[in-house]
A and B are shown apart, each in its own frame.
Chain A
Amino acid sequence: MRVGLFVTCLVDLIRPSIGFAALRLLRAAGCEAVVPVTQTCCGQPGYNSGDRTAAKALARKVLKEFDGCDYVVVPSGSCGGMIRVHYPALFADEPEMRETVQRVAKRTYELTDFLTNVAKLETPPGHYSGSLTYHDSCSGLRELGVQAQPRALLAKLPGVKLAEMRESATCCGFGGTFSVKFGDISARMANNKCEHIARTGAGAIVAGDLGCLLNIEGRLRRRGDLQTRVLHIAEVLAGKDGVCK
């Protein structure tokens, strides 16, 4: 099957290793992974800031770029949720778009959801040894039902010891532009998350969304924690490919 990887703007800009890890996982699962090179942003910043015009323009672009793929896979529950759940709502007033939107939306999956439920990846190529704790990112969890999938995949790595934190499903405070508009509230939420992480004693905090990871890492480091590793689930499952070092 032909799988289009939607890299996401944050991964493109800040941590390309996550995109390459996702590619590696898709190939390990036997997929033909393609990366439409003109892709940019899913439109979520505009959509959540009340600018539907901007959101629609970018959504149309994504739909055009990925319509030819059997599946669209996103290493982010947030952007995945945007395409799968919110595109149909965004175009509800354009009946002529309905078919295209539904077609792409239905085929769009968050990475771990896709690997577990569609591609049925048996043996992730990564090696990880040590304890880690997993943060459930909001959109993945509540819009796409991503909760058991990442844990099931992690359980396939023999060296992984999962130490669950308290309130793993509570928002880390990122929320896109919220993190800047309401910086102090956002940082307090991140701080609460860091305390729960610290109490597990885990060597790494893992999540499926780079937005949350940047927020959590930003707060962890400012608190003086330089030890705890902050990793995307794709990086753990695929093994580091060296880009990031």
Chain B
Amino acid sequence: MQVAAMHFKRKAAENLGNEKLQRALEKLQTKFVDGRAAAIAELPNFEDIRDAAAEIRERAISNLDRYLLRFEREATARGAVVHWAETAEDVNRIVAEIAAKHGVQRIVKSKSMVSEECGLNDALEARGLSVLETDLGEYILQLAHEPPSHIVAPVVHKTKEDIADLFEDKHHRPRTTQIAELCREAREILRPGFLAADMGISGANFIIAETGSVLIVTNEGNGRLSTTLPRVHVAVTGIEKVVPTLEDVSTLLRLLPRSATGQSITNYVSVLTGTKGGDDADGAEHFHIILLDNGRSRLLGTELQPILRCIRCGACMNHCPVYQNIGGHAYGWVYPGPMGSVLTPSFVGLANALDLPNASTFCGQCAVVCPVKIPLPDLMRDLRNRQVERHLRPWQERAALRVWSWLAQRPALYALGARIAARLLRLFAGGKKRLRHLPGASGWTNERDIPAPAGRTFRDLYRSGRHT
């Protein structure tokens, strides 16, 4: 996927002014924030499970090599083929080779953010293969030629009216805004696609080392159809998704749907283990699992390692007041919100996503809701440190900080500076209680006043002894 993270500010400004988008984003509060709160309230020991989940993920990441090799051994023993992909291009090449080997023409896909990371659909279509997204949200986006704006609810930026217009235009059927009708319309188009497909591509929510299984959670059933109906199943996922045991994964499953959609469990939980055996009624004859690095292993042993614990629930973005107001497309790549502000610079380069680690007030709510306790603000701060170390910040910002720090280390000079600043601000206020404009502060004053200082500084008044 093209990286557009450098256009964050422009895109965010556009989205703030997009009334339709703003209406669509209101869903986040009711559906996801309130939904999660209700779902975790059902668990009397939520914090204990959260501790356990964080520990499981940390253990997996700290021993990644061991668990991945175990996974490969177990999956291979059950008839699957495990491929290692260092880059996105490797994934695209490997999938194309598998397709060629098995004479594949038609592919159905269940939702996969890693495939978005690779731009897999475009790569396969360029090779003459037909690719059909079968997750309802992803199907809508495929019709609209848009990228997802959320990792769990990819089409959250659209209203049902948008989708009604799109379906009318693409399906040439009478327009309806009834959600059930829209779903049926999509289902009627998708069903023949499933039946005709030679290959199904899925992601993986977890891969399980002890059994070599791929686990996916879905709500629409398209994931199960995509992975069991076609002859060939290809699961594409990141190396960090490994979990040691089935027992571990069952702990994580108590938190993933609750954190993501406020469900105690998703409609489907599929544990896909090995190829179709002699007695099996269904399942793929050929099972390929592609494990992508794409920058993940670079984070091991660094300050950023905790981001590899992420289980892609989306709670951080649902609860982020920045994401809630600008939507996911502003972030300019596959992963939006706080987790994206850590992952995008890590994967595509710090210099290609300068705004992202800074686009947070550090309110800390993302860390509060993260089911695996990733300290997201600390990780964003670490990226800010790296930006400064590599001289990637604008010189004006650098200079301002240096002057501030230099002054603040010299109390007498600082006191004088504060006194002058207070006077100047009052002068600009012109006898009023607030300023409407201030040179160099348009970022603030475009939409807010600046309350004027009271007059003398605390230090001045305290020294004068009038208030001690």
Q: With A50-B386, A185-B12 as known contacts, state yes or no: A14 contacts B454, CB within 8 Å.
A: yes
Other-chain residue from B378, B414, B442, B449 in contact with A218 (beta carbon distance below 8 A): B449
Q: With A49-B401, A142-B368 as known contacts, state yes or no: A187 contacts B12, CB within 8 Å.
A: no
Q: Is A214 an interface residue (CB 8 A)?
A: yes
Residues from chain B with Cβ under 8 Å of A171 in the complex: 321, 361, 363, 365
Contacting A at CB under 8 A, from B444-465, are 444, 446-451, 453-454, 456-459, 461-463
Q: Is B411 an interface residue (CB 8 A)?
A: yes
Q: With A183-B443, A243-B454 as known contacts, state yes or no: A221 contacts B321, CB within 8 Å.
A: no
Quick check: B409 and A57 within 8 Å, CB to CB?
Answer: yes
Q: Is B326 an interface residue (CB 8 A)?
A: yes
Interface size on A, residues (CB 8 A): 71
Q: Is B152 an interface residue (CB 8 A)?
A: no
Residues from chain B with Cβ under 8 Å of A35 in the complex: 462
Quick check: A11 and B458 within 8 Å, CB to CB?
Answer: yes
Min Cβ gap A202→B in Å is: 19
Q: With A182-B12, A184-B13, A241-B467 as known contacts, state yes or no: A61 contacts B443, CB within 8 Å.
A: no
Residues from chain A with Cβ under 8 Å of B321 in the complex: 170-171, 173, 189, 192
Quick check: B405 and A19 within 8 Å, CB to CB?
Answer: no
Q: Is A108 an interface residue (CB 8 A)?
A: no
User: Most A CB atoms within 10 A — which of B363, B364, B458?
Assistant: B458
Quick check: B388 and A50 within 8 Å, CB to CB?
Answer: yes
Residues 400-435 of B, flagged 1 when their CB comes within 8 A of A and 0 if not, give 011011011101001000100110000000000010
Q: Is B347 an interface residue (CB 8 A)?
A: no
Quick check: B393 and A37 within 8 Å, CB to CB?
Answer: no
Residues from chain B with Cβ under 8 Å of A192 in the complex: 321, 325
Q: With A13-B422, A20-B461, A51-B401 as known contacts, state yes or no: A139 contacts B364, CB within 8 Å.
A: yes
Min Cβ gap B358→A in Å is: 6
B460: nearest chain-A partner, CB-CB: A16
Quick check: B12 and A54 within 8 Å, CB to CB?
Answer: no
Contacting B at CB under 8 A, from A27-58, are 35, 37-41, 43, 45-55, 57-58
Q: Is A15 an interface residue (CB 8 A)?
A: yes
Residues from chain A with Cβ under 8 Å of B359 in the complex: 178, 182, 185
Quick check: B361 and A173 within 8 Å, CB to CB?
Answer: yes
Other-chain residue from A41, A188, A230 in contact with B325 (beta carbon distance below 8 A): A188
Min Cβ gap A9→B in Å is: 8
Residues 218-256 of B, flagged 1 when their CB comes within 8 A of A and 0 if not, give 000000000000000000000000000000000000000
Quick check: A12 and B388 within 8 Å, CB to CB?
Answer: no
Q: Is A180 an interface residue (CB 8 A)?
A: yes
Residues from chain B with Cβ under 8 Å of A38 in the complex: 411
Quick check: A180 and B444 within 8 Å, CB to CB?
Answer: yes
Q: With A51-B388, A188-B16, A219-B447 as known contacts, state yes or no: A143 contacts B325, CB within 8 Å.
A: no
Quick check: B462 and A37 within 8 Å, CB to CB?
Answer: yes
Quick check: A17 and B454 within 8 Å, CB to CB?
Answer: yes
Min Cβ gap B36→A in Å is: 15
Q: How many A-B residue pairs have CB under 8 A?
A: 202
Quick check: B408 and A58 within 8 Å, CB to CB?
Answer: yes
B407: nearest chain-A partner, CB-CB: A40
Min Cβ gap A189→B in Å is: 5
Quick check: A181 and B449 within 8 Å, CB to CB?
Answer: no
Q: Is A87 an interface residue (CB 8 A)?
A: no
Give complex CA distance A243, B463 in Å: 14
B401: nearest chain-A partner, CB-CB: A51
Q: Is B9 an interface residue (CB 8 A)?
A: yes
Q: With A50-B384, A219-B448 as known contacts, state yes or no: A58 contacts B418, CB within 8 Å.
A: no
Q: With A138-B361, A171-B321, A185-B325 as known contacts, state yes or no: A218 contacts B386, CB within 8 Å.
A: no
Other-chain residue from B378, B451, B462 in contact with A214 (beta carbon distance below 8 A): B451
Residues 368-386 of B, flagged 1 when their CB comes within 8 A of A and 0 if not, give 1000000000100101111
Q: Is B84 an interface residue (CB 8 A)?
A: no
Residues from chain B with Cβ under 8 Å of A20 in the complex: 458, 461, 467
Q: Is A233 an interface residue (CB 8 A)?
A: no
Give complex CA distance A192, B326 in Å: 13
Min Cβ gap B441→A in Å is: 7
Give complex CA distance A212, B364 in Å: 15
Give complex CA distance A186, B12 in Å: 11
Q: Is B387 an interface residue (CB 8 A)?
A: yes
Ranked nearest first, the 7 interchain pairs of A and B with the lowest CB-CB distance are A175-B361, A183-B443, A50-B384, A218-B448, A54-B405, A171-B363, A16-B458
Known: A89-B378, A175-B361, A218-B450. 7 other contacts (CB 8 A): A49-B384, A50-B389, A57-B409, A174-B361, A192-B321, A219-B448, A243-B454
Chain B contacts to A: CB under 8 angstroms: 9, 12-13, 16, 321-322, 325-326, 358-365, 367-368, 378, 381, 383-389, 393, 397-398, 401-402, 404-405, 407-409, 411, 414, 418, 421-422, 434, 436, 441-444, 446-451, 453-454, 456-459, 461-463, 467-468
Chain A contacts to B: CB under 8 angstroms: 7, 9, 11-17, 19-20, 23, 35, 37-41, 43, 45-55, 57-58, 61, 89, 138-139, 142-143, 169-171, 173-176, 178-192, 214-215, 217-219, 221-222, 230, 241, 243-244
Could you jot down 26 A-B contacts, CB within 8 Å?
A7-B458, A12-B459, A16-B456, A16-B461, A16-B462, A19-B458, A19-B462, A23-B468, A35-B462, A37-B411, A38-B411, A49-B393, A138-B361, A138-B364, A139-B364, A142-B367, A175-B362, A175-B363, A178-B361, A182-B358, A184-B16, A185-B325, A218-B449, A221-B451, A241-B467, A243-B467
